[in-house]
Structures are given as C-alpha cells and as structure tokens.
Chains A and B, each alone.
Chain A
C-alpha cells in the first residue's frame, strides 16, 4: 500500500507535466489549426536554454526562469507563427504537418549541435535542498509538489483567460467559426499569435519541469512528449479538461507499470513504449473529425512518360558507374547510401505522393527489411531478399489497418507511435519463439549483414554493392513510374481525391489502402536490406523514428509525387553529410539542420524540387543536338576524371558548367508565350500535354 501511494505521487507529478504540455498542444491545435509535432522539441530547447542560463552561466534561478519563459519562449512562438506557419496556412493540412516535422528535426539537430550530446548536463530539481513533504506513509519531494501546483495554476489561468478575458473569448470564437469571428471584428491573426505564444510557453514550463527527472538529451526529451500527445488525444485535441484527465491516466499508468511490471528481458522495453502504445490505442479508440475542410490547392502528381522514366533509370545506373570509377574506396562506401536510402525515400512516393497517406515509420520498416535479410541471408542466400521484402510488406499491411480509421495528422501520429513502439520495445527484444518459429531481431546488439550471392557470385565489395543498389533503385523507379502511369496509380490518386466517389463507383477502400501500404513497405524493406549490406552491421538506433524524419523531409522537398525523388533524396541526404564530414564530428547535425531548414522552405515550392528540375531540364533533353553535346561533354569529363588526368572535383565543376550553359541555351530557344489566358486552356483550345508542366512551373515560380 505504501508502495502504491509512492507510485501514485510519482504518477501524479508526471501527469501534471503532461497536462501542462498537452494543454499547450491543444491550444495551438484548436486556435491555429496546426498539430505541432515540434511541441515537445520546443520544451526540450527551453530545458537546454534554462540549463545554459542557470547552470552554464550561473544566473540566479528566477532570472533564468523569467528569461526562458517570458522572453525566449514567446519569441520562439511568434517566430514559428510568423515565419513558418503563416506561409503554409493557405496550403493543405499535409504541408502544415511537414512544417512542424521539419521544425522538430531542426530543433533536435540544433540542440545537438550547440550542446554536445556527449557531455552530461545534470539539472537540479527545484528546492532540492528542502526535505521531502511527508504524506502519511508516502513522501513527496518539493519538486513534485511544485510541479503539481504549477499544473493547477495553469489550469486555473487558462480557464480565466478563455472565459473571463476578451482576448480568450476571441480565441474561442475563432475556434468556433473562424470566418464569422473575422466578420465581427476579431483578428484571427491575433488569436493565432496568442495561441502560439502561450502554447510554446506551456511547452517550455513542461520541459523545464521534466528535465531534472530525466537526462538532458535532445532526442529523449523531444519524444518524452509522446505521453503529452496521448493526453491531448484523450481530449480529442480540443478539450482542455479531458486533456488533463488524459494526462492523469497516462501519468499513473506509466508509474504503475514502472513499479509493478515484472522484471525480465522482454518487458522493460514495453514500459518505455507504453505511452506510444497508449497513444496508438487512444487514436484508434476515439473517432476523429478531420481538420478544417479539404486542401484548398491541389498539388498535382506528375505523370512521367515511358521514355523519360527509361532515361532517368539509365542515368541512375550511369551515375553509379561514374561514381565507382571516379571515387576512392572509402568514398564509395559512403556514397553507396545514395542509392539504398534512395530506395527507402522512393517508398514514400506511392504512399504519400499518390495516396496522400503520411507514414513516419518507413525507416523502421526498412530496419525490419535489413534485419530479416541479415539473419536469413547470413551467407548471401538470394531467396532471402524477396522474403525480407515480403515480411516488410506484411508489416506495412499491418500498419494499414489503423490507417483505415485515421488520416492526415492522426495517421502521421499513429505511424510515429508505431515507430516508437518498434524502437523502444520490439527492436530491443531478445530472440523469442512464435508458434515454433524462432524470431530474432537486433538481438540486443548489432546484426552483421552481408551482400547477396548472385548466381554463385558473392557481392561483397563496396563497388559491387553500390552498383547493386543503383540497379535496384533504377528498377524500383521504373516500377513506380509504371505504377503512376497505369491503372493502380490512377486508382490511388482517385482514392485520395474522393473516397466517397471511389467507393460509389465500386472501388474497395480496404483492398486499395492495404495494397499501397504493403507495396511501399516492401520497397522500404528492400531499401533497408541494401542499406544494411552497405553498413555491414546494423543496430536498432540506425532505424529509429528520429533518424527517419530527415529522410521523410527530403522526400517532401524532392516532391512526394515525383519518381525522381528517390535519387534526389539519396543525393541530398548523403552528399552534404560527406562534404561537411571534413569539418568535424557535428557534420551530421549540421546537414540535418540544413535539411530541416530546406523543409521549412516548403511553402515556396509545394510540388517539390524534382518536378521543378524536371521542368527546367526537359527542354534540353528534347533538343537532340544540344543533348548530344551534353552527353559528349559529360563523357569527356568522366574519362578525364576516371583516368586521373584531371582532379575529380575539377571535372565535376567543368561538367556542371557545361550542363548549365547548355540548358540556358536550350531555354533560349523557347517558343513565344501562348496568348490564351491560362484559365481557359482546355476550354477554348484543347489541353496539351506540356500545359501541366508550364502550369506547375508558373505556380512554383510565383
């Protein structure tokens, strides 16, 4: 009984923190219409800033607190509202979601860059010098008492703000009916600013309160918030009282699990994964209303031509050949990931690009592909590769089942929860038996991975593995392009645009959704196996949620609907990291930060970079003379570099200059602008195949 009371005190004090953080999340969600994935990351940054001021620079605690809570947090909130969110407000729900994922990734990378993760940063609890308060048989520390008092104060203050002040009433009015609120003199922008300021402040309070009880680690702190998300989902992301109730449920559950769960090899991970598991269950249990309306502006899905896809696939293989002849052995190992990560990034295209379903667990599924291949193909057995793909596809089909009930932000949240469950529990399990089949995952360590045995020819060298990955990326790109051009691609896009019309025309929603999840998971599994071969040994950390976010972001930047996104993502992910590698150990954080920043530029090119590049270079490809000249110059540069006649970097620069000038030449030969206004294309004159391209370029430029 005493123990129970002690656990209850611990549970209630964490519940208080979740309630504070969760109420901030609900506030920004209802008022600004944005589910902020980076809410926890904001709290994490606040905790780090507080540590810097109070411990690092030894400021007095009240001054440090005031600076973080009253200056830094509101400033950050206003920055997010003004610079990041307002430009994407007019775009779809998916774009707003991507923006907050970019913010989350950026915050983690920034924190790791500024505060070296290898240094321990202890943060003392509040009033640590006072002795605990006795409550009969149990006791409560002053920090716990303060935490609970803060939660109660926050609840009271929020109630007062929302019901007793004009500004708070205006916020509630904007939630009820944004258009009407605007008509009656309320300023929706002001309500949005207030919501962001308050929301980030609440996240900061939570972050500072929770940091002393756990390690000050960027990734851990940002994801600790999963529990706060669960609390907010209890409140259906709308109701503050229900969010507080949800926080109590989650906090107590975690404390009791920690106290009473039997200790063996299988269950400690479950305790860590419990909040994510609860989040997934809460998402599935409560019906969710979609956020406001439909996407106002549809981002088109590019339609590749058969010839174009072949040219692209050929270029992928050619690029690989160029790389293996020009690069040194070490560099080939690093650049191999261009193609394997490319396959993983390509797996977003059918799922998110065609069907509009955002999954944040693709890298986790790739991890399953890698580990299955590592065990079954331990000696390079070729049959194990399709088996790895099939098992990954099976897991994908499993993920599809919740996807039938969830969409948009809720699906992204659900797949993120799934990834966390894999990271914290499933991937940490020792080998176990299911129906007599021995299942081994990461075996609580690392798994060696080798290349496949291709008809008696065992591929093991970095060169061979790079070429294998490139050929498979080329084939996968061709397959995805064929998918887009064919019946299934049309069907998936149709499903996204109108489920009601699709169903009433005789389409099966269940089959189509399960199929696309399985398909893209299979692709991710293949990419994971290839990635594993290049890494030679794989660990669970290489495939966790946070590692997967930058890949998702690059795929978005490349353009989720474009087949070229696979290669683009591979290049954009690997090349900057390699270039910065010479600068120091923080190169990885810097390049992740750059990716996050690029993701935040999304509003300016919602269709992605790949379609834009395609539009800019298509003319050159169609101009036979200039295209042949380009091929000649490229071949010459390659020859010079491969034979070491000139420095590789010099040859690359020469090739780029030649390509750019030839492209400028091709653009100059452009036809005069059409004189029929754009709105009437397809009405006053027939729609021409190149019209879509012209339009997407025009909208990308504007």
Chain B
C-alpha cells in the first residue's frame, strides 16, 4: 500500500478535453489511504472524465496526477493498473454469459491461482459463493456489482475508482453495497466514488466534492451545508 500519511491519489489543476472541447477546467482533488471521497454533481459535469484521468484511460491536457507522491501524469492505463489503480467503470464490469466462477477465472492473469481468487471473493461476498455456477447475467444488479468489485479487488488495488455504482439499483441494495465499500476502505484502500445520487454514498464518505461544469466549486465534510450546495448545482439556481 502507498505511503501512509500523505495523500495517495492527488489530482492538481487537471484539465481534459474531448474533440477540442474542454470538459475539465482545472480539478484539484486528493484521496488518502483508507479514505472514501465522494465526487458528486449533475450529469455532464465531467465526473466520469475525472475518473478516467485518474485511471490513465483519458490523458489530461494539463495538470498533474500523483500516485503515492510520485508524478504519474501521462502514464498509461496498464501501467497505472499495475501500480495499484483499479477502475470499475459504469455499467457492470462482468461477462453476462459467463458463470460467476468463470468471471473470476478470467482474473488469473493477475498471477493468483483460481482457488485463491475464488476463496477471497466468496469470503468477502458469501452470496457469490452460493451462486458460483450461475451465469453472471442472471444475477441481481447488486450481486453483479459485488462480482465486479470482487474482480477488481483481485488486483490488490491501493486506489479504487468507482463509477456510478448505484446505477439502476434499489436504495437498500445501494446502501448494502456501500457498506462493503466502507469495509474495503478500512483495509487501507483509497476510494474515490463518482455518484449522481448523493444520499447513499454520503453515509460512508469521509470527504465530498461537488463537480459542476468541469470545476470543483465546493468541497468539504459531508454535512448539511452540502445539501444546499447540491440542490443549487443540480437544479440550476447556482450563480
């Protein structure tokens, strides 16, 4: 795991563009080891782009990306993945026609054996063990997300980047999933969560940031004052 004490993941002054149109206008964000940071904001604000920059999937046009105090701006996704950055993209990162076992089997490229991976996954998410021969596409939405998490954790990440984990899930399921994420953070993983639906993630977040039109106009502890901020950014009464 990364250096304890300092920020593990640090974005400073990050700008990013698609098709020559700037989507991020200078984003500053830090995540410490063991910390859960929620990045909230309306659709089209640039949340997913921020995650993609942090994972090396989308190159920033300016600004710096630090990982454990090391400047990794411009590193490619594969290199960052090997340095312990794990992105679980929006939509479920599972193969729907493969069984749970086979989905986990695909992770043996990490060097672990099939048995190790399965044991770890079923220990953390027992329900996956009960459904090991079932095709992933027939699992419930929440179980699919658990499988995606289990697959991601196989890489032993220091930084976990989660995009819209709650998409299309019932509130209770979301709450349960975020409890698991909190457990993962307690093991020392730095977690950055992008969410449009703020309520559930704020229950476990140590820190929250609002992203609007490619900038972070507000960040701080997730308390009541955040609510007012969010409503203004979501519903357009902000300056």
A and B touch in their complex, CB below 8 angstroms: yes
Give A residues with C-beta under 8 Å from B: 163, 166, 169-170, 172-173, 175-177, 180-181, 183-186, 679
Q: B108 is contacted by which of A166, A181, A679 (Cβ under 8 Å)?
A: A166
Partner among B95, B97, B102 whose Cβ is within 8 Å of the Cβ of A180: B95
Contact (Cβ within 8 A) B106 A173: yes
| Known pairs A176-B97, A176-B98; A169 contacts B105 (CB<8 A) | yes
Q: Are B106 and A185 in contact (CB under 8 A)?
A: yes
B109–A185 CB distance below 8 A: yes
A176 x B96 contact (CB < 8 A): yes
Which residues in A have their C-beta under 8 angstroms from that of B12? none
Would you call A186 and B106 a contact (CB within 8 A)? yes
* B-side interface residues, number (CB < 8 Å): 15
7 closest A-B pairs (Cβ-Cβ)? A185-B109, A176-B95, A173-B95, A169-B102, A176-B97, A184-B106, A173-B106
A180 x B96 contact (CB < 8 A): no
A172 touches B151 (CB 8 A): no
Task: Say whether B107 faces chain A, with CB atoms less than 8 Å apart.
Answer: yes
**A175 vs B94: C-alpha distance when bound (angstroms):** 12
Q: What residues on B are CB-neighbors of A679 within 8 Å? A: 20
Chain B residues near A181: list those with CB within 8 A: 95, 106
Q: Hey, which chain B residues are within 8 Å of A173, CB to CB?
A: 95, 98, 102, 106
List B residues at the A interface (Cβ < 8 Å): 20, 93-98, 102, 105-110, 151
Q: By the criterion CB–CB under 8 Å, are B98 and A166 in contact?
A: no
The residue in chain A whose Cβ has the minimal distance to the Cβ of B20 is A679
How far is B109's CA from A383's CA once the two chains are assembled, in angstroms? 73
A173–B94 CA distance with the chains assembled, in angstroms: 9
Is A172 a contact of B95 with CB atoms below 8 Å?
yes
Which chain A residue lies CB-closest to B101? A169
The A/B interface has a contact count, at CB < 8 Å, of 40
Q: List 25 A-B contacts (CB under 8 A).
A: A166-B105, A166-B108, A169-B105, A169-B106, A170-B106, A172-B97, A172-B98, A172-B102, A173-B95, A173-B98, A173-B102, A173-B106, A176-B95, A176-B97, A177-B95, A180-B95, A181-B95, A181-B106, A183-B93, A184-B106, A184-B151, A185-B107, A185-B109, A185-B110, A186-B109
Min CB–CB distance A159 → chain B (angstroms): 14
Please give the distance in Å from A164's CB to the nearest CB on chain B. Answer: 10
CA distance A564 to B226 in the complex (A): 66
Bound together, the chains give a CA A169 to CA B104 distance in angstroms of 11
Cβ A175 vs Cβ B97 within 8 A: yes
Q: Which residues of B contact A185 (CB under 8 A)?
A: 106-107, 109-110
The smallest beta-carbon distance between B130 and chain A, in angstroms, is 20
Q: What residues of chain A lie closer than 8 Å to B105, measured between beta carbons?
A: 166, 169
Residue from the set A172, A175, A176 with the largest chain B CB neighbour count within 10 Å: A176
B201 CB to nearest A CB, Å: 24
Residue of B nearest to A683 (CB): B20
Give the chain A neighbours of B106 by CB distance below 8 A: 169-170, 173, 181, 184-186
Contacts of A184 in B (CB 8 A): 106-107, 109, 151
| C-alpha gap A166/B102 in the complex (Å) | 9
A172 CB to closest chain B CB (Å) equals 6
Contacts of A163 in B (CB 8 A): 102
A458 to B98, CA, bound (A): 71
Contacting residues, chain B, for A177 (C-beta < 8 A): 95-96
The CA of A181 and the CA of B107, in the complex, are separated in Å by: 10
- Rounded to whole angstroms, the CA-CA distance of A186 and B109 in the bound complex is 8
- Distance in Å: Cβ of B190 to nearest Cβ of chain A: 20
In angstroms, how far is the closest chain A Cβ from the Cβ of B63? Answer: 24
Closest-CB distance, B131 to chain A (whole angstroms): 17
When C-beta atoms are compared, the residue in chain A nearest to B81 turns out to be: A183
Q: Given A163-B102, A679-B20, 19 other A-B contacts at CB below 8 A?
A: A166-B108, A169-B98, A169-B105, A172-B95, A172-B97, A172-B98, A172-B102, A173-B95, A173-B98, A175-B97, A176-B97, A177-B95, A177-B96, A180-B95, A183-B93, A184-B109, A185-B106, A185-B107, A186-B106
| Complex CA–CA separation, A177 to B151 (angstroms) | 15
Q: Which residue of A lies closest to B108 (CB)?
A: A166
Contacts of B109 on A, CB cut-off 8 Å?
Answer: 184-186
CA distance A172 to B103 in the complex (A): 10
Residues on the A chain within 8 Å of B102, using CB: 163, 169, 172-173
Min CB distance A194 to B, Å, is 15
Residues on the A chain within 8 Å of B97, using CB: 172, 175-176
